[in-house]
Structures are given as structure tokens and as C-alpha cells.
């Protein structure tokens, strides 16, 4: 039988897996799953695992940060860039699964954070809104969306709406925290009002700390009287001014509510593949391999 090296932290998790009766050929798979769990702080990319909500904090009126605890306070989820987690819950007798991107650093010890906005008619987001400290949630991952490698592009443009900022922040953080990565990042971030802008402090800090590598342009549908950023919906002119031009050296990432995706790039296909490139980016001359829809 193939011998597997199991990290001490993985050994604790093997205990959980022992309950499953396995054939000799299956044993290797179970141990591999345990090794994945150990590497990712208890997360498993092949099955849902329950995590306890440690604390929740209000971020904006309808958005909270949910901090989930890892069994081992010294472990991290070490998510590959760019990846998300799937959250599963049974709501009104129906199984509901939605993707979320942690906002905590991949190396944060003992916990990971999800920032979730509650929509009035949202099924999973309302379930989050009802969570209390100590409640458990079933989570699976990491689910790799786009395997990012340092310097794979010279300039990455990002167009985000609302909570669509979370996958962008994950990539930007990985790029900016790596001194070997010379990629430039330009972000357009659309929201309804100034109060709706989540993670603004983190983004503004990046813009200050890395003025030559990161810039952010905020756009509001309903700006206040004194607002100096973009106003209305994101337009072709804004994209032309702020995004890197169409080129195989560059790429544009898009993530936001379906109506925004529709206008900017076209939505993903029902099977969650990239779907046809449409909208303003197509009109500006980008090709499908220069655009990635999260």
C-alpha cells in the first residue's frame, strides 16, 4: 500500500475520518481528503464540513462580517488564489448552496472571515443574517475559480459591484503582498450609496501604500451632494479611462449583481461556465480570454 506522510495536525483529523468504513482502495482517498483538510485548516474541497460562528460584526447597515473558528487556533485556510468557498444550508426544506470569498488573509490563524450582505429577497444571505454566535454552517472548499500566478499579466483591471468586491480583494491582496509580483491592479467599484461601500478602508490603504501598483475608482448610483467619485452606473467611458486596454498582457475581472454583469460583460452561463462575452467590454474590443467573470 502507498505510504502517506501525514502532518501531526492531519492526524487529529484522521480521527474524524475513521468513522467512515473504507475499502483498502478508498482508504487512500480518505487520507488524502484529511491531508487537504489539514492544509486548509479543516476545509475539504470534496465534502461539506461544519464550522462554528465565532463572532459577527456589523460592517454596513445590511452587511456583517462573520468570523468562523478553525479547530486548531494555529492553522490557516491557505486558500489558493483565486478561490472561493461554497456554503450549504437547508432553508424551508430546500438545499441552498452559494459561493463566498473569505476576506481574511489566506494565512490568518485560527479563523476565516466572510463578509455577507443581506438582500431583502435573498435566500442564503438572509440565512446568514439570522446566524448567531455559536451556530454552525456547512462549508466546502477551496473551489479554485482562476489559478493566479504572479506576473501572469502586466495589468489587471477589476470591475466589482457590491459584495462582488470580495474575490477582487483576494487577488489584489495576493498581488500586492508579493514583492516579486509586478502586476498593476486598477479597480472600478460600484455601489448604490457611500454607506454601502464595504472594505473601503482596506482598499484605500492599498491605494496609499502602493500608489504605482493599485488604484481604485468608486462609482455610486446615488451619490451624496459632496461625492467626488464616479456618479451613476459604470459606463464605457469609465472603463476606457480606468481599465487596462485590450491586450494579451492584460486582463479584466468582473464580479457583481446579475444586472451589472449583464451590462459590463454578459452574465455567466447557467452551468456557471464563463458564457458569451457581451456588453461594454466586448464593445471596447476585449476578447473572451481577456475577461474573467467570477
Ligand X SMILES: Cc1cc2nc3c(=O)[nH]c(=O)nc-3n(C[C@H](O)[C@H](O)[C@H](O)COP(=O)(O)OP(=O)(O)OC[C@H]3O[C@@H](n4cnc5c(N)ncnc54)[C@H](O)[C@@H]3O)c2cc1C
Give the interface with ligand X as residue ranges (CB under 6 A). Answer: 84, 98-101, 114-117, 119, 121-125, 145, 162-163, 166-167, 257, 294
Given the complex with ligand X, which of 41 and 167 has the nearer CB atom?
A: 167
Given the complex with ligand X, which of 128 and 286 has the nearer CB atom?
A: 128
* Dist CA 90 CA 254 (whole Å): 29
- Cβ atoms within 10 Å of 22's Cβ, excluding its own: 13
Minimum CB separation of residue 248 from ligand X in Å reads 24
Given the complex with ligand X, which of 11 and 126 has the nearer CB atom?
A: 126
Minimum CB separation of residue 170 from ligand X in Å reads 9
Query: What residue has cell string 502586476?
Result: 183
Question: Which SS3 state, helix, strand or coil, does residue 219 take?
Answer: strand
Residue with the shortest CB distance to ligand X = 122
Residue 206 labeled ligand binder: no
Residue 12 labeled ligand binder: no
Minimum CB separation of residue 121 from ligand X in Å reads 4
DSSP 106: T
Minimum CB separation of residue 149 from ligand X in Å reads 19
Residue 115 labeled ligand binder: yes
Residue 69 labeled ligand binder: no
Residue 166 labeled ligand binder: yes
Given the complex with ligand X, which of 45 and 72 has the nearer CB atom?
A: 45
Given the complex with ligand X, which of 34 and 168 has the nearer CB atom?
A: 168
For the four alpha carbons of 108, 114, 276 and 197, in that order, the dihedral sign comes to: negative
Given the complex with ligand X, which of 60 and 247 has the nearer CB atom?
A: 60
Grid coordinates representing 229 are 467619485
Grid coordinates representing 171 are 487577488
Grid coordinates representing 36 are 487537504
Minimum CB separation of residue 218 from ligand X in Å reads 17
Grid coordinates representing 68 are 468562523
* Dist CA 171 CA 174 (whole Å): 5
* Dist CA 149 CA 255 (whole Å): 20
- Read off φ and ψ for residue 146, nearest 5 degrees: -150, 110
Minimum CB separation of residue 273 from ligand X in Å reads 13
Strand-pairing partners, residue 219, are 190, 230
Residue 168 labeled ligand binder: no
* Dist CA 289 CA 26 (whole Å): 38
Residue 163 labeled ligand binder: no
Binding-site residues, in ranges, read: 98-100, 115, 117, 124-125, 166
Binding-site residues for FAD, in ranges, read: 98-100, 115, 117, 124-125, 166
Amino acid at each position: 500500500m502507498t505510504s502517506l506522510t501525514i502532518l501531526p495536525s492531519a492526524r487529529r483529523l484522521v480521527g474524524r475520518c475513521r468513522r467512515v468504513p473504507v475499502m483498502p482502495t478508498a482508504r487512500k482517498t480518505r487520507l488524502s481528503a484529511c491531508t487537504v483538510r489539514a492544509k486548509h485548516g479543516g476545509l475539504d474541497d470534496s465534502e461539506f464540513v461544519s464550522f462554528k460562528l465565532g463572532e459577527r460584526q456589523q460592517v454596513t447597515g445590511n452587511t456583517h462580517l462573520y468570523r468562523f473558528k478553525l479547530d486548531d487556533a494555529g492553522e490557516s485556510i491557505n486558500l489558493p488564489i483565486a478561490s472561493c468557498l461554497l456554503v450549504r444550508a437547508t432553508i424551508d426544506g430546500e438545499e441552498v448552496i452559494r459561493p463566498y470569498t473569505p476576506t481574511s488573509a489566506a494565512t490568518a490563524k485560527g479563523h476565516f472571515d466572510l463578509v455577507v450582505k443581506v438582500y431583502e429577497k435573498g435566500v442564503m444571505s438572509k440565512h446568514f443574517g439570522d446566524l448567531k454566535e455559536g451556530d454552525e454552517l456547512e462549508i466546502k472548499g477551496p473551489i479554485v475559480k482562476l489559478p493566479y500566478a504572479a506576473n501572469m499579466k502586466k495589468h489587471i483591471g477589476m470591475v466589482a459591484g457590491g459584495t462582488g468586491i470580495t474575490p477582487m480583494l483576494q487577488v489584489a491582496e495576493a498581488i500586492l503582498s508579493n514583492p516579486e509580483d509586478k502586476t498593476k491592479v486598477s479597480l472600478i467599484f460600484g455601489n448604490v450609496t457611500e454607506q454601502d461601500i464595504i472594505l473601503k478602508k482596506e482598499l484605500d490603504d492599498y491605494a496609499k501604500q502602493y500608489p504605482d501598483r493599485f488604484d481604485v475608482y468608486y462609482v455610486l448610483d446615488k451619490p451624496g451632494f459632496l461625492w467626488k467619485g464616479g456618479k451613476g452606473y459604470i459606463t464605457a467611458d469609465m472603463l476606457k479611462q480606468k481599465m487596462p486596454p485590450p491586450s494579451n498582457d492584460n486582463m479584466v475581472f468582473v464580479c457583481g449583481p446579475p444586472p451589472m454583469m449583464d451590462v459590463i460583460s454578459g452574465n455567466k452561463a447557467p452551468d456557471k461556465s464563463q458564457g458569451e462575452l457581451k456588453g461594454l467590454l466586448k464593445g471596447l474590443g476585449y476578447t473572451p480570454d481577456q475577461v474573467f467573470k467570477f
